[in-house]
Amino acid sequence: MANRFNTLPVPITRHTPHANLPEWVTPTEAQLFLGVGKTAITNQILRGELPSKKFGHFIRIPKAALRPLSVAQTELIQALAADAVERFLKTKS
């Protein structure tokens, strides 16, 4: 029987759609989804920047808390890529 903290049968990666995440994710799953290190996730939880809840001795992060972070990362990557393309085109002119 599955418990309520069950993880997906397919591993979570940076390419996993937000809608496919379980309602509560482990810090490790959040790390994989956001593409950051475990220390970054742990520090954000300890500083209160990333909402979390303890279920017994298990820490879980609500799926909704990851959405703004993933959107911000995507926007940053797109801006950096656009800047790199612009600089490349200037060197070719």
Two tokens, residue 65: 């808390």
Beta strands in the chain (DSSP E): 24-25, 53-55, 58-62
Burial class (CB in 10 A: 0-12, 13-18, 19+), 50: buried
- Please compute the mean of the pLDDT values over residues 46-50 and round it to a whole number: 91
What type of residue is 67?
R
> Residue 3 pLDDT more than 60?
no
The CA distance from 63 to 7, in Å, is 12
Lowest mean per-residue pLDDT among 23-32, 53-62, 76-85 = 76-85
Q: Which domains does the chain have, with CATH numbers?
A: 18-92 (1.10.1660)
Q: In degrees rounded to 5, what are phi and psi of residue 54?
A: -95, 130
pLDDT category of residue 47 using cuts at 50, 70 and 90? very high
Q: What is the mean pLDDT of the chain?
A: 82
Tell me the pTM.
Answer: 0.66
pLDDT value for 1:
42
Two tokens, residue 76: 């940053």
